[in-house]
Amino acid sequence: MKVIITKDYNEMSKLAANMIKETVNEKPNSVLGLATGSTPEGLYNNLIEMNRNGEIDFSNVTTINLDEYIGLNGDNPQSYRYFMNNKLFDHININKERTFVPSGVAENIEEEAKNYDKKIDELGGIDVQILGIGVNGHIGFNEPDEVLIAGTHKTGLTQSTIEANSRFFDKIEDVPTEAITMGLGQILKSKKIILIVKGTNKADVVRELLKGVITTNNPSTMLNMHRDVTILMEEEVSKLI
Ligand code: PGA
């Protein structure tokens, strides 16, 4: 596991964007695994700028997102499909038909989950997966639990995640309590993983991850099983670890 400490959030976002640029320039039809949340917003802003400047071309890129809330369709401003369109896809030269976010309103979520994994396999897997991390160590919506599920699946959200995500909603009762998420087995199949850590409130779970233990109580520790993980973290977080 490689750890890179950056001066601040801007430097971290730029570095992550450069890593994506290198991947896409080397392989123009890359499959990029993307994440939502406040952490990757800076990365997406940098990618938009690079695309405008002609430094990166998304015309042959495919994207696969980690997760979506159950019950929200893509027109809902709180949905992750809406977030991705609004924060990235609408501003770059990507073919929207090659941007995949699991559907939270599919009639049969189990079927949707199975098809999502099939789609990723058919695409030949994910070249680079971008990850954020929850304050409880979740990756995607793989919440701490006694068991973790390898493939894409439906899951309940923990109270800690509902509270953390309530900042994006008018009131906490509006936060969906279930989601569809790529499982850690599928995430670990990605050829390369970049974990971006923003916020000092993530220091405790990242400290545990860096200890090299593996526990389902902190799903991020599963990343210890992967050969090519780069962790980018702000200096102010690293000081607490
Ligand atoms: P954040 O969320 O980027 O908004 O901190 C990260 C996550 O919950 O995975």
Q: Which domains does the chain have, with CATH numbers?
A: 2-201+222-231 (3.40.50.1360)
- What residues are labeled active site? 67, 136, 138, 143
- Can you tell me the distance from the alpha carbon of 117 to that of 152, in angstroms, rounded to the nearest whole number? 6
Q: What is residue 226's DSSP assignment?
A: -
Residues of the chain under the 70 pLDDT cut: none
Close Cβ partners of 77 (under 8 Å, ≥ 6 residues apart): 86
Does the CB atom of residue 102 touch ligand 1 within 6 A? no
Does the CB atom of residue 165 touch ligand 1 within 6 A? no
pLDDT, position 43: 98
pLDDT, position 201: 97
Q: What is the pTM of this model?
A: 0.97
pLDDT, position 174: 94
What CA–CA distances, in Å, run from 89 to 171, 172, 217?
Answer: 28, 28, 34
CB 53 within 8 A of CB 40: no
Which residue owns the Cα nearest ligand 1 atom 8?
A: 134
Q: Atom of ligand 1 at shortest distance to CA of 39?
A: 3
pLDDT, position 192: 98
